[in-house]
Structure 1
C-alpha cells in the first residue's frame, strides 16, 4: 500500500508538470475540445460587429428612405451594424435624449434639428465631428460650403449635415397668365410681390398667403443681411440679446401686414399645410414653403396648373444676404464607446457619398450635401422632371456667406420661434403695430436667453 501511494504521488506530480508546460505553451488558455490552435489564434474573426443605434425623426416616405440607406450600409460591410429607431418629432427625440444622458440607454448617433445646435454643443454630450474629420483627414471641400457653414462654430464642425432645405416662393403660373402677369418672370422683391398680389386678387381668388412661421421671419432677415441675435448671431460669443425687432424685421412685418389689410393676402394661421392646401386648391396665387415640399407641391398641382418657383423675396434696397439652411444634422454622442463612435463616423461618411446623397435627394427633395451628387444620372433625371428644383439649388449657391446667412444659434431657439410667431399673429390680427409687437417679442426672448446662459455658466 505504501509503495502504491508513492507511485501514485510520482504520477500525480508528473501530471501537474505536464499541465503547467501545456499552459505555458499556449499562453495560459486551453483550446476547446474539437478545435485546433490555428482557430484559437484568431478570436477577432469571430468578433461581433459594432452596433450603432441611430435615433431619427423621419416618418412616412422619409422614414422609408432612411431605412433603405441603413440597409445599404449594413450590406456594404461587416464591421458595423446600424439600427435606425424613429423617435417621433425633433422635439420629442431631443427630450428623450435629454432624459437618457445620465445613462447608457441613449443612442450612439442622433438627428437633431438645426435650432437645437446651441443646446447640443452646451450639453457637453457630443464628440464634435471635427475630431473624426481631423483624424481621417476627411476632405470637407467635397461638401456644400453654404450647408456646412450653419454647423460650423469657431471654424469647427460639430455635426454633419443630413437633411437640408431652405424656403422658396411658389406661384401659380396659370393665375399669373390670367392676371396679365408674365408667368416666366416671378416677383423677387417685397414691392413686386405686393404688386403681383393685387393683380392676382380677383374672381374670388387671392394673391397669396404666408404661414405664420418663425422660420420665415429668420429667413427674411438673413436675406437682407440682418442678424437675428447680437454677438454675430451668437457665433462670436454666446448671444445675449434678440434683434427680432430690427429695422429689417419691422419692414418685413409692415409689408406682410399691408397685404393682409389690402385683402391681397390671406392670414391662414401658423401651419404651412394650410397654405399649401389653399395653393394646391387654386385659392391663392403665391405662397412660401420649404424646398423639401417641392415634389409634393408640383405633383399635387399636376393636371390643374403649372407651378413656378422663385427666390425668397426681399426689399429692393436690401443688403447682400441669402437663405439659411433648415433641416437637421447628425451628432455623435460621447457617452458611447470609442468603437461605437467610430462606427457612427463610418456610417456618416457612407451617407455623404455621392450615390447615397443622390438617392436621398431624389427620394426626399432635400439638398444633396455633396457636390458630386449632382453628377449622378438619377439627380440629372430628377432635375429634368422637376426643373423647379433648380431655383432652390441656385438660391443656395447664390447665398452670400456671412454671420447673417450662417444662421443664429441660441439655446432657447424653439421658445424664441414661438414668441416670434405670437408677435406676427398679433400684428396680422390687428392687435398691435409691427414695432410694438416685435419689441415685446425681443424683450421676452432676451430674458429667456439670459436664463439659459446662467445654466450654461
Structure 2
C-alpha cells in the first residue's frame, strides 16, 4: 500500500512538472525551441559516441574449477588483451548440473549469460529449449572453415548436419594399467589387453598378494562408451538422431554382455568394486592396489604424476568384446552455446571469443594445461604440444583412439532430454548387478523401462 501511494505521488509530480514546462514553453516559445535544436543533437551524438566507444561485454558461465579454472582465466585474459571491442567476463557457476539449472531459472529474464558451457549430455535439452542461436548461423555468416577442426569431435554436436554448439573441453575414456605389476605377473607391459576376454585373463594373473587385477568406477559414462565401442546404439531412432528417441536400449545384448563380463570379474575377486566415485579408483590405482582402471583422457597428467617414482603407467584403448562390430569412443566433456535472448552485438562478441578459442595456439595451451583434446588439428603442430607428447607419450593412445573411431550413429553418441537422470538410473542398475541384488539382464531391463518412461514424459513437454 505504501509503495502504491508513493507511485501515485510520483505520477502526480511528473504531471505537474510537465504542466509547468508546457507553460514556460508557451511564454517563451522561440527561445525554448532554439535551445532544444542546438542542444539535442549534440547530447544525442555524445551519448551515441560514448555507447559505441564502450566494448561489448560477454558474460560466460562455466564449470571449470581448480587448475582448469586457472586455465580458463588465462584464456579470457589473453582474449581481452587482444580485443578491445569485446571483453569477456568468465563466471564460475558450479558443476555442470548446477550451471544448467541456473540457466533454466534465468531463461525468462535478462540475467543469464551470453555464453554457457554445457556438458555433452545436455545437448538435446539445449536445442529443445529454443534458447540458443545455433553455432551454424555464425559459421555460415562468417564462412568459418569447419574442416580445420576434428571431425570425430564435431560429430557429437551436429544435428541434421548443423552445428549447434562449439566443442570446448573434450575427452574420452582409456584403460590405464600398471606396467610394473604386469611385469611381475609375467605379462608383457607393452601388449595391454584390448578385449573383454583379454582384460579378464590379465586381471586373473594380476590378482595376488591382496591386490586386485582391476577396478572400474560405477559410472554411466563408461556404459555409454562400451556400447559405442561395440558399434551398438544406446537409444532407438538412430541413437535419438534420426528422430527423437522414444526407447532406451541399455538392456540390449551390448549392455548385458558388458555387465555380465564386469560382474564375473567382481564375483571372482579379480576386479574390485569401489563404488561410483572415479576418484576412489584413481587413488587405489595410484597406491598400486589395482593394476587396471578406466578413466578420462583428461585425467592422464594427474594419474601419471601420482604414480611418478612408484611405477610406470601404461595406456590402452577402451576394451570391447572380441566379436564386436566397428565402433569407437564418444566424446565426453562439454561445448559452448550462445544464448539468443542477448543483443546481436553480444552474440557476435561471443562468436569472436569462440573463434579465438579454436585457433591452434589457444588450443595448444588449453590441451597442455588441462589434458583435454585439442579440437583444432593444427594444434598438434605447435611446439608446445610436441613437447607435451614427448613428456607424456601415454597421451598418444588417446589421440590414436579418437582418430581410429569409426563415424556412425553409435559413435556419434546418444542424445535425449533426460540424459542426466538416465545416467543415474544406469549406475543404479550396475550397482544392483555388481552387488548381487539382481542378475545383469534383470537390472538392465528395469533401467531401460525407467528411462523409457522418463523419455516419454520429456517428449510430451517438448511437443
In which range does the TM-score fall when normalised by the shorter chain? over 0.9
Aligned to 2:6: none
Question: Judging changes above 3 Å, is the alpha-carbon distance between structure 1 residues 421 and 27 closer, same or farther for their aligned structure 2 residues?
Answer: same
Aligned to 1:146: 152
1:371 corresponds, among 360, 365, 377, to 377
Separation in structure 2 between the aligned mates of residue 320 and residue 206 of structure 1, nearest angstrom: 31
Distance apart, 1:205 and its partner CA: 1.1
Distance apart, 1:77 and its partner CA: 1.4
Q: C-alpha deviations, 1:415-435, integer Å up to 9, x for none?
A: 100110111101000111111
2:208 corresponds, among 197, 202, 209, to 202
Separation in structure 2 between the aligned mates of residue 443 and residue 142 of structure 1, nearest angstrom: 42
* 1:31-430 map, 5 Å: 43=49, 47-430=53-436
Q: C-alpha deviations, 1:72-109, integer Å up to 9, x for none?
A: 00000111010000000000000000000010000000
Supply the RMSD in Å over aligned alpha carbons.
Answer: 2.0
Separation in structure 2 between the aligned mates of residue 88 and residue 363 of structure 1, nearest angstrom: 20
Question: Judging changes above 3 Å, is the alpha-carbon distance between structure 1 residues 426 and 46 closer, same or farther for their aligned structure 2 residues?
Answer: closer
Separation in structure 2 between the aligned mates of residue 239 and residue 397 of structure 1, nearest angstrom: 27
Q: C-alpha deviations, 1:195-224, integer Å up to 9, x for none?
A: 100000111111010000000000000000
SS of residue in 2 equivalent to 1:227: coil
Aligned to 2:459: 453
Separation in structure 1 between the aligned mates of residue 65 and residue 404 of structure 2, nearest angstrom: 31
Aligned to 2:41: 29
Separation in structure 2 between the aligned mates of residue 86 and residue 312 of structure 1, nearest angstrom: 32
Question: Judging changes above 3 Å, is the alpha-carbon distance between structure 1 residues 138 and 180 closer, same or farther for their aligned structure 2 residues?
Answer: same
What TM-score, normalized to structure 1? Answer: 0.93
Distance apart, 1:360 and its partner CA: 0.3
**Alignment coverage as a number of residue pairs:** 437
Separation in structure 2 between the aligned mates of residue 309 and residue 286 of structure 1, nearest angstrom: 9
Question: Judging changes above 3 Å, is the alpha-carbon distance between structure 1 residues 336 and 283 closer, same or farther for their aligned structure 2 residues?
Answer: same
Distance apart, 1:117 and its partner CA: 0.3
Gaps of 5+ in 1: 1-12, 33-38
Question: Judging changes above 3 Å, is the alpha-carbon distance between structure 1 residues 76 and 450 closer, same or farther for their aligned structure 2 residues?
Answer: same
SS of residue in 2 equivalent to 1:347: helix
Distance apart, 1:43 and its partner CA: 2.2
Q: C-alpha deviations, 1:363-387, integer Å up to 9, x for none?
A: 0000000000000000000000000
Q: C-alpha deviations, 1:278-312, integer Å up to 9, x for none?
A: 00000000000000100000000000000000000
Q: C-alpha deviations, 1:401-455, integer Å up to 9, x for none?
A: 0000000000000110011011110100011111111011000000000000000
SS of residue in 2 equivalent to 1:284: coil
Question: Judging changes above 3 Å, is the alpha-carbon distance between structure 1 residues 118 and 31 closer, same or farther for their aligned structure 2 residues?
Answer: closer
Larger radius of gyration: 1
SS of residue in 1 equivalent to 2:190: coil
Distance apart, 1:240 and its partner CA: 0.1
Distance apart, 1:27 and its partner CA: 10
Question: Judging changes above 3 Å, is the alpha-carbon distance between structure 1 residues 19 and 355 closer, same or farther for their aligned structure 2 residues?
Answer: same
What TM-score, normalized to structure 2? Answer: 0.91
Question: Judging changes above 3 Å, is the alpha-carbon distance between structure 1 residues 31 and 219 closer, same or farther for their aligned structure 2 residues?
Answer: closer
SS of residue in 1 equivalent to 2:292: strand
Question: Judging changes above 3 Å, is the alpha-carbon distance between structure 1 residues 31 and 168 closer, same or farther for their aligned structure 2 residues?
Answer: closer
Distance apart, 1:359 and its partner CA: 0.3
Question: Judging changes above 3 Å, is the alpha-carbon distance between structure 1 residues 30 and 423 closer, same or farther for their aligned structure 2 residues?
Answer: closer
